[in-house]
Amino acid sequence: MVTDRPIVVAGAGAIGCFVGGMLAAADRRVALLVRPRVKTEIERFGLRLTDFGGAEKKLGAGQLALSEDPAIFHSAGIVLVTVKSADTADVADQIAQHAPQDAVIVSLQNGVGNVAILNERLDGRRVLAGMVPFNVVAMGEGRFHRSTSGDITVGEDADNTAAALSVPDLAIRASRDIVGVQWGKLIINLNNALSALSDMPLAAQLASRDWRRLFADQMAEGLAVLKAAGITPASATPIPPNWTPTLLRLPDMVFNAILGRTMKIDPEARSSMWQDLKQGRKTEIDYLQGAMIALAGKNNVDVPLMRRIVALIKEAETSGKGPPRLSPQQIRGVV
């Protein structure tokens, strides 16, 4: 059975190290396909997993296999794909070459297009879409910190792969509408770019009504696109997507009371796009706003705010100076 064999994380960055580490801490057999820098860091410091609630788990380097060689896929029962969207095709080719034919492939990536790429490159293999609702920040010295709340969702299948992966402190749930779940997450992920452009922690940004209004206006564009395309997004948070723009525009006191009841956010939580700009890496903007803009074009929906945000992120990528610390007014282009 595939569940008797190792779980291999393909591209263990922040999300991959956290998820793989949590599985290993629950005594699952786990292997990480990692870059040399991450391998060296874990071998030196071990793996330390922390979260917004104060929980902490520590693993020695010997508690999971580490490799830079994709041959590590050779005995995988389940492969968790956590690479950036731009690297999906390359990692799919590695999986095709090295992983057993019956290995289950689970995409735990941002965006909505990765499963199609995996299916194209892994013809005949079982590929499941997944959604990770929380952020993980690489803190250095082997520490990976989960900074927001939520449970992972995986597409429902006959073997109940979601239940086979679920462990204490890392709930993984099955969904019959994983496409709706992915679009619902993408709508929320539109804020990644605003976080990156602001250089502010997510909690501080959400505490500001000006920033929330900007997020609401961008989200309203996205919801209009999905409506025109006939797509119903499932909620990635306890708040239904169609209600979210209205709630974001509420006065601070009311909004903060609602947010406190529905979602936990570490005061220093940052988006993955902020981390990319900070480290001079190319972002996933083409797979988030870019995917929405492409869908808008097919359905004749105008998304001017989203287009401006993409242009500003591209400028920041090109400059290589990190997050540009723009204000909401600068992002809107009114100053």
pLDDT of residue 335: 63
Residues 131 and 263 reside in one and the same domain: no
pLDDT of residue 194: 97
> What's the first-to-final CA gap in the chain, in angstroms?
61
Q: What region does 148 belong to: left with phi over 0, alpha with psi -120 to 50, or beta?
A: beta
- Domain closes at, from 142, 176, 210: 176
Q: How far apart are CA 320 and CA 48, in angstroms?
A: 30
CATH of the domain at 60: 3.40.50.720
pLDDT in tens, the chain (335 residues): 567 899 999 998 999 999 999 999 999 999 999 999 999 999 999 999 999 889 999 999 999 999 999 999 999 999 999 999 999 999 999 999 999 999 999 999 999 999 999 999 998 899 999 999 999 999 999 999 999 888 999 999 999 999 999 999 999 999 999 999 999 999 999 999 999 999 999 989 998 999 999 999 999 999 999 999 999 999 877 778 899 999 999 998 888 887 666 677 888 888 999 999 999 999 999 999 999 999 999 999 999 999 999 999 999 999 999 999 999 999 999 86
Residues 139 and 192 reside in one and the same domain: no
Q: Are the CB atoms for 197 and 313 separated by under 8 Å?
A: yes
Domain around 98: 2-176
Count of structural domains within the chain: 2
Residues 113 and 199 reside in one and the same domain: no
CATH of the domain at 248: 1.10.1040.10
Residues 171 and 202 reside in one and the same domain: no
- Domain closes at, from 176, 196, 219: 176
pLDDT of residue 260: 60
Residue 290 identity (one-letter amino acid): G
Residues 68 and 199 reside in one and the same domain: no
Q: How far apart are CA 15 and CA 138, in angstroms?
A: 9
Q: Where are the beta strands (DSSP E) in the chain?
A: 7-10, 30-33, 47-51, 56-59, 65-67, 78-81, 104-107, 127-131, 136-140, 143-146, 152-155, 172-175
Residues 156 and 8 reside in one and the same domain: yes
Q: Are strands 152-155 and 143-146 parallel, antiparallel or unpaired?
A: unpaired
pLDDT of residue 261: 65
DSSP state of 151: -
- Domain closes at, from 176, 204, 223: 176
Residues 83 and 186 reside in one and the same domain: no
Residues 45 and 137 reside in one and the same domain: yes
Residues 36 and 130 reside in one and the same domain: yes
Residues 127 and 234 reside in one and the same domain: no
The structure's pTM equals 0.92
Three-state SS string over 92-147 comes to HHHHHHHCCCCCEEEECCCCCCHHHHHHHHCCCCCEEEEECCCCEEEEECCEEEEC
Q: For 56, phi and psi rounded to 5 degrees?
A: -150, 135
Residues 18 and 80 reside in one and the same domain: yes
Q: Are the CB atoms for 20 and 64 separated by under 8 Å?
A: yes
Q: Which two tokens stand for residue 142?
A: 């082997």
Provide the 3-class DSSP secondary structure of residue 332: helix
DSSP state of 235: P
Residues 72 and 201 reside in one and the same domain: no
Provide the 3-class DSSP secondary structure of residue 265: strand
Q: Are the CB atoms for 179 and 200 separated by under 8 Å?
A: no
